[in-house]
Amino acid sequence: MKKIIALLLATAMCVMTLTACGASKETMKEGVLVVGTNLAFPPFEMVDDNGNPDGFDVKLIEAIADKMGLKVEWQDMEFGALVAAIGTKIDASIAAMTITDERKKTVDFSTPYYTAVQYIVLPENSDIKTAEDLKNKTIGVQLGTTGDYAAQEIEGATVSAYDKAVYAVNDLLNGKVDCVIVDQGPATVFQNNNPGLVAVSGVEFDFATEDYGIALPKGSPLVEKVNKALEEVIADGTYDKLFNEYLATVEE
């Protein structure tokens, strides 16, 4: 009986104070936001010349964490591993991640911070011009991305999935795939870095637009805090500054 009472008391204390009970800790490490990403998706996330994380998402969440009084610690991982790692290995993920119903079963998302669409990267002389032409083609994608899912919907398509989008582009240059389906930002960067390749908006191929969100543990108090900090970062002009620095060149 005493044991039961002690247990009930301990539980009540936890509920009342919401501290020191493990489950209520907001981040894994005090004062730190451990953020997972996949540093191979320019201009959203990449490494700079010194090997440090860089890109629009990187700077955006660092500004958000700053408003929350937290320092960011980076974890570079495979894109497909991010969602499952949230709440266990990482506190949050920012990775040009599209808000999808499937992912929402596992994580919560912040307010959308960017709208994109899938693009088709093609050799300049490609005969692929319409959605119809994509049928029965060999398509390169990054594994576990919305580009991967879109390619799988195409009738008769053979989908080659790579750990990094740039590997798919290498196989496009080698002639091993007919095209690559990838988000607008990196598609435009790949076009700019590779003479002979063109990036065509998926809108012309009937692809719908996608919203990017910051993924957070389901039901976490971090969701509201991140949203509030995101609003502040927009209001004080930081968002626009970063947009001009990283994204202006990949917009149409």
Q: How far is the CB of 181 from ligand ARG (least distance, A)?
A: 10
Binding part of the chain for ligand ARG, among 106-114, 129-137, 138-146, 151-159 by CB under 6 A, reads 138-146
Number of residues that bind ligand ARG (CB under 6 A): 15
Residue 113 touches ligand ARG, criterion: CB under 6 A? no
Q: What is the DSSP string of 133-188?
A: GGTT-EEEEETTSHHHHHHHTSTTPEEEEESSHHHHHHHHHTTSSSEEEEEHHHHH
Whole-angstrom distance, CA of residue 242 vs CA of residue 165: 23
Q: Give 33 or 124: the residue with its C-beta nearer to ligand ARG.
A: 33
Residue (145 or 238) nearer to ligand ARG, CB: 145
Q: Pick the binder of ligand ARG from 61, 72, 95, 172 (CB under 6 A).
A: 95
Closest CA to 161 of 178, 174, 148: 148
Compute the distance between CA of residue 104 and CA of residue 245 in angstroms, rounded to an integer.
30
Minimum CB separation of residue 77 from ligand ARG in Å reads 10
Q: How many CA atoms lie within 13 Å of 123's alpha carbon, on the beta-carbon side?
A: 13
Query: For ligand ARG, which stretch binds (CB under 6 A), given 66-74, 141-149, 216-224, 233-241?
Result: 141-149
Residues 190-249 touching ligand ARG, rule: CB under 6 A, are 210
Q: How far is Cα 106 from Cα 88, in angstroms, rounded to an integer? A: 12
Q: Does 38 bind ligand ARG (CB under 6 A)?
A: yes
CA distance 69 to 67: 5
Q: From 198, 236, 233, select the one nearest 114 (Cα to Cα).
A: 233
Closest distance of CB 105 from ligand ARG, Å: 15
Strand 107-109 with 215-217, pairing? antiparallel
Among 56, 79, 114, 190, binds ligand ARG (CB under 6 A): 79
41 binds ligand ARG (CB under 6 A): yes
Query: Cα separation of 46 and 250, whole Å?
Result: 15
183 is an interface residue for ligand ARG by CB under 6 A: yes
Residue from 72, 90, 96, 141 binding ligand ARG (CB under 6 A): 96
126 alpha-carbon distance from chain centroid: 29
188 lies in the binding site for ligand ARG (CB under 6 A) = no
Chain residues that interact with ligand ARG, rule: CB under 6 A = 37-38, 40-41, 45, 79, 95-98, 142, 145-146, 183, 210
